[in-house]
A and B are shown apart, each in its own frame.
Chain A
Amino acid sequence: MNSPDSFGAIYNFVSGPLVWVAFIVFVGGSIYRFYDLIKLVNRKEKFIYSYMSWKYSLRSIIAWVTPFFPVNMRKHPVLTVVTYVFHLCLLITPVFVLGHGVLIKNAWNVRWWALPESIADFMTLMVIIGCIFFLVRRLVFREVKYVTTMSDYFLLAIVAAPFVTGFLCYHQVGNYDLLLILHILAGEIMLMAIPFTRLSHMLFAALTRAYIGSEFGKVRHARDW
């Protein structure tokens, strides 16, 4: 990192080939997880299809993406607000932050919609605050602490890292070159972790909701929220 040349080489590597690797692992891994799951259903629990209902799947999913609609969300108002803000910022910021837009423009000459910098900065902060909140919850609340494993802290770190490093980069705090490379690496690690860790709830949450929503709606005639 001391000489500009070695920085350039590393930068080119992590922002070039490694990005491709990360996206291939993320997309390929996600497709594989879905494929594997469908194969498993077909082999062992084919009956699931006969209980699935679009109407009740959607009813359940819509109920659970609507803030404060489910009873349990109303019981935990602070957590509900933090969770919504956290997830929205987590998904939107990386896609529309100006810096990423510039990279896309440079690589493919595609115009990309970008968030105003101050807003992206604020959203990044929200993700970091969300991670701290979740960490404190895990450490302080007995019912969360009891079911927490080391892997949960690890996952929190994986999620927090790209945002913390990105935030420091943007504000030029610390060694910019080092942080930039760490930021890119952290983002790549997070992407690759999604299909193969509990971050896979990003892929499967809609499916578990759809299944239980169908069971509750079609067979049990009861609300599942």
Chain B
Amino acid sequence: MAEVIEKTEQRIVDEGLDKGADKLTGDQIARVIKAVLENETGARLKVYVDTCVHCGLCSDACHIYLSQNRNPKFSPAGKVKRTMGEILKKKGRVSPEFIRDAAEVAYTECNLCKRCVQYCPFGIDVAYILLIVRRICHKLGVTPLYIQDTAHSHSVTMNQMWIKEDEWIDTLQWQEEDAREEMPNLRIPLEKEGADVMYSVIAPEPKFQPNLIYYTAILMNTAGINWTMPATPGWDNSDMAMFTGDNEIMGRIKRAQFDAAARLKVKKIVMGECGHAFRSVYDVGNRWLGWKMPPIPIVHAIEFYYDLLKAGKIKIREKYKKSVTLHDPCNVVRGAGLHEKARYVINEICENFIEMHPNREHNYCCNAGGGVINCGPPFKNKRVKSNSVKAKQIRDTGAEILITPCHNCHSGMEDIISYYNVNMHTKFIIDILYEVMEKPGD
């Protein structure tokens, strides 16, 4: 049956991949692969490749493998075999068609969630290997069209959504004005030097979900936080360049953010409920810039809410009544260990919390992160079909509300819920926190 499905599956058309590969020559491919492998990889890749005993134990870690009828080509080791394995075996002498297909594997069949790292007896980092493949594809100009567009936006505007500087400021002032109807003294302080907190968001918030900025403004003002947001580039912490393999642009974006925080002389950067952005500022981008850990402390929203609730700066009027479950996002749970804090926050604000299984570090990936959802409509069907285990996992909780404190997870889950007809709605923590917290006017 699996074979029948495979045969009827149509080849996905993506201009970025197809036309990018058309322009390649064998020599160019070999040259770029050699340069990346020689200049940008070292002991890790070598040991990973030499040590893997092909035991297949990573397979059960992968939501895509589990959802695709356990087709071995989607197992973590299977994906390495189809990409880096061939590249190394043929010493970089691979065809343009191969690069096109390897790009599809690396960009759309792996979310870099690192769950498989926890299932490998040797701790081999498959996500790292597939990131090297993405790096090669980026350098060869074979990247999916939609995610490449966001990388272009980063390089031109320093934000992901082509938002101009005046639009950004205007959006914040519009949210401030709206929120003042509810809380007359509320401010969204722009460019306030010496504030304790610089709040940063991902560009899709001002573009599509400005209400999240509104809620956060209410939260900040209620808790009496001395905060600010930059009016200059550096306000957007998202980073699709990290996922296309464009490390140079990634470095520029992260630098803009750290520079904005340094210029404003803030004590820390607090960020909204986003996972990949956290990975970029906390783990990846900082290292590219030569910082072992971020130069300015980075506090993810989960931890920020935790601190506020723990310190009693935010009080709960009445707990949220509907039953909720939590999807642990890879980048802040497997990437920062915020799972217990997330549970504390949810139990403080919700009456009925139901765990999904597996959970915490072992939660299944949303199949949207790692830039996969950003590869856009051409890959949407494949992405949603490749995560039936997730649909089952959330359906089994019987909860009414699915809390996903990460933007990519959030969007991915909405697609899964609608495709599989799961009777559930997704919410961010702040959606609920805003609803249940005590506000000064109450």
Q: Which A residues are closer than 8 A to B by beta carbons?
A: 37, 40-41, 43-45, 47-48, 50-51, 60, 64, 70-72, 75-76, 79, 137, 141-149, 152, 198, 200-201, 204-205, 207-209, 211-213, 216, 219-225
Binds A, one of B44-52, B135-143, B399-407: B44-52
A223/B50 contact (C-beta < 8 A), A142-B72, A213-B123 known: no
B117 proximity list for chain A (CB < 8 A): 212, 216, 224
Report the stretch among B5-13, B333-341, B378-386 that lies at the interface: B333-341
Whether B125 is near chain A, meaning CB under 8 Å from some CB there, is: yes
Note all chain B residues with C-beta closer than 8 A to A205. Answer: 51, 121-122
Name A197's closest neighbour in chain B (CB-CB). Answer: B50
The yes or no answer to B75 lying at the interface (CB within 8 A) is: yes
> Is B352 in the interface zone, CB < 8 Å from A?
no
A200-B50 contact, Cβ under 8 Å, with A44-B42, A47-B292: yes
1/0 per residue, CB under 8 A from A, across B244-274: the answer is: 0000000000000000000000000000000
Contact B81–A220 (Cβ < 8 Å): no
Give complex CA distance A71, B116 in Å. 12
Which among B48, B54, B78 has the greatest number of chain A C-beta atoms within 10 A?
B54
Residues from chain A with Cβ under 8 Å of B118 in the complex: 70-72, 223-225
Q: How large is the interface on B (under 10, 10 to 19, 20 to 34, 35 or more residues)?
A: 35 or more
Q: Decide: A220 near B121, CB < 8 A? Known: A37-B43, A75-B60.
A: no
Contact status A146-B73, CB under 8 Å: yes
B41 / chain A contacts, CB cutoff of 8 Å:
44
Residues B333 and A207 in contact, CB atoms below 8 Å apart = no
Which chain B residue shows the least CB distance to A43?
Answer: B42
Identify whether the interface residues of A are mostly helix, strand, loop, or mixed.
Answer: helix
Q: Which of B72, B336, B362 contacts A71 (CB 8 A)?
A: B362
Cβ-defined contact, A212 with B125, below 8 A: yes
B47 touches A207 (CB 8 A): yes
Least Cβ–Cβ distance between B120 and chain A, in angstroms: 8
Complex: chain B residue closest to A152, CB-CB: B54
> Please, how many angstroms separate the alpha-carbon atoms of A144 and B75 in the complex?
10
Q: State the CA gap A219–B335 with chains docked (Å).
A: 8
Docked Cα-Cα span, A75 to B337, in Å, equals 23
With A201-B122, A211-B123, A221-B337 as contacts: A145 and B72 at CB distance below 8 Å: yes
- Cβ contacts B16-46/A at 8 Å (1 or 0 each): 0000000000000000000000000111101
Tell me whether B119 and A144 are in contact (CB under 8 A). no
A112 shortest CB reach to chain B, Å: 31
Encoded as 1 (CB less than 8 Å from any A CB) or 0, chain B from 326 to 362 comes to 0000000111111000000000000000000010011
Minimum-distance CB pairs A-B, first 9: A221-B337, A44-B42, A212-B123, A146-B72, A144-B56, A143-B59, A143-B56, A40-B43, A72-B119
